[in-house]
């Protein structure tokens, strides 16, 4: 069974603070994919990153960085110097590499991030 846990329901920070969103996953598969999506108040889910299970390199994209650790089944997301525009719900998700449920995303329940000016 696939499961994604985002223990933080809501986080509030003040602009320019760094913030880390936690994601812990469960799967019996050896090959899988992990994703982060951002959902601003407008509603559209915006794809941020995909990580393959065999690639444990951390990634940085501007103010965003991701820390993937298979040993702890975690895929955490850090925003450096947060801005008001980062306010959104962030979803972590997992998908299988192969099988009948290929194409299904297993979402965490999301973390609402609010950045105050």
Partner 1 sequence: DTEVTQTPKHLVMGMTNKKSLKCEQHMGHRAMYWYKQKAKKPPELMFVYSYEKLSINESVPSRFSPECPNSSLLNLHLHALQPEDSALYLCASSQDPLAGDYNEQFFGPGTRLTVL
Q: How far is the CB of 65 from partner 1 (least distance, A)?
A: 18
Q: What residues from 60 to 79 belong to the interface with partner 1 (CB under 8 A)?
A: none
Instruction: Tell me how far, at minimum, the Cβ of 82 lies from partner 1, in Å.
Output: 21
Query: C-alpha distances in angstroms, 101 versus 25, 26, 31, 37, 55?
Result: 17, 16, 14, 20, 22
Stretch of 17-25, 60-68, 74-82, 94-102 lying at the interface with partner 1 (CB under 8 A): 94-102
Q: How far apart are the first and last CA of the chain?
A: 41
Contact string (CB under 8 A) for partner 1, positions 37-56, x = contact = x----xxxxxx--x-x----
Residue 96 CA to its chain's centroid (Å): 16
Q: Which of 17, 69, 101, 116 contacts partner 1 by CB under 8 A?
A: 101
Measured distance CA(3)–CA(22) in Å, rounded:
14
Query: Cβ(112)–Cβ(65) under 8 Å?
Result: no
Q: Which of 21, 27, 95, 113 binds partner 1 (CB under 8 A)?
A: 95
Which residue, 64 or 107, has its beta carbon nearer to partner 1? Answer: 107
- Which positions lie near partner 1, rule CB under 8 A? 33, 35, 37, 42-47, 50, 52, 91, 95-98, 101-105, 107-110
């Amino acid at each position: 069974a696939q499961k994604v846990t985002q223990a933080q329901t809501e986080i509030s920070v003040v602009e320019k603070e760094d913030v880390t969103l936690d994601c812990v996953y469960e799967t019996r598969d050896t090959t899988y994919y992990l994703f982060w999506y951002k959902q601003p108040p407008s509603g559209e889910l915006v794809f941020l990153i995909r990580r393959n299970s065999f690639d444990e390199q951390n990634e940085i994209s501007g103010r965003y960085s991701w820390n993937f650790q298979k040993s702890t089944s975690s895929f955490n997301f850090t925003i450096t110097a947060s801005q008001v525009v980062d306010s959104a719900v962030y979803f972590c998700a997992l998908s299988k590499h192969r099988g009948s449920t290929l194409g299904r995303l297993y979402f965490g329940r999301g973390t609402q991030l609010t950045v105050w000016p």
